[in-house]
Amino acid sequence: MSRKTERVVVTGMGVASPLGCDLSGFWNNLLAGCSGVISLEGSIFSGMPSKIGAIVRGYEESDHFDSKEARRMSRSSQLGLVAAKQAIAQAGMENGEVDRTGVGVIVGSSIGGYSASDQFFKSFYLQNRLSPFTIPISMNVGPGSNISIKHGFQGPLMSVDAACSSAAHSIGYAFNMIRSGMLEIAVTGAADSPFSPAVVGAWVAAHAVSNRTR
């Protein structure tokens, strides 16, 4: 017996990556064969054993969030929101005609929570102090949760952790949920910002990243 499946289409895209913080910049740099890996500079990277990495260049949180919003979100959540905003706008979902109760958010994240929690646990071990934002900021569901809250989406919320393939798995889950008729609209992808001394040091110890200085 054949099973009815719904058609699945991509109606909007967004990106915040080392090759660009918008679709046109990303695509042009991709076609030009540009590398997103650069030498890491600045105080945040001074204690890291690896000195090269792929950061989102040209991204300034003050261009997208006020100071109160920025303090309450990890960099992973910020980047996820920036990319999601582009996709939502391109899909025409900002005009209020979309039933937000039926929009699901399936956004993966793998190690961003570890990086975000670094500063909080350092404060705890050194000063016996913890912020009430420790858990909501460091949870891997943070990017998806913030997208749902910001845009008022009330459909299913899922965070997929499949390491480096978290985005592919998230998109796959969203595709299957729409195709099966379980969901009509989904915002999907992944967001991660793994830069902290402890996280990078752990990857170096595992011989999983380069220890080159440039």
- Write down the CATH number for the domain with range 23-205: 3.40.47.10
- Rg from Cα positions in the chain: 18
Is the pTM above the cut of 0.85? yes
Is residue 53 scored above 90 in pLDDT?
no
Classify burial at 11, counting beta carbons within 10 Å of its beta carbon; exposed 0-12, middle 13-18, buried 19 or more: exposed
Q: Where are the domains of the chain?
A: 23-205
Helix residue spans in 72-187 (DSSP H): 75-90, 112-127, 134-138, 142-151, 166-179
Is residue 169 scored above 70 in pLDDT?
yes
d(CA 201, CA 203): 5
d(CA 23, CA 135): 32
Q: Give the tokens for residue 68.
A: 């109160």
Is residue 1 scored above 50 in pLDDT?
no
The letter for the amino acid at 68 is K
pLDDT bucket at 175, cuts 50 / 70 / 90: very high
d(CA 91, CA 101): 17
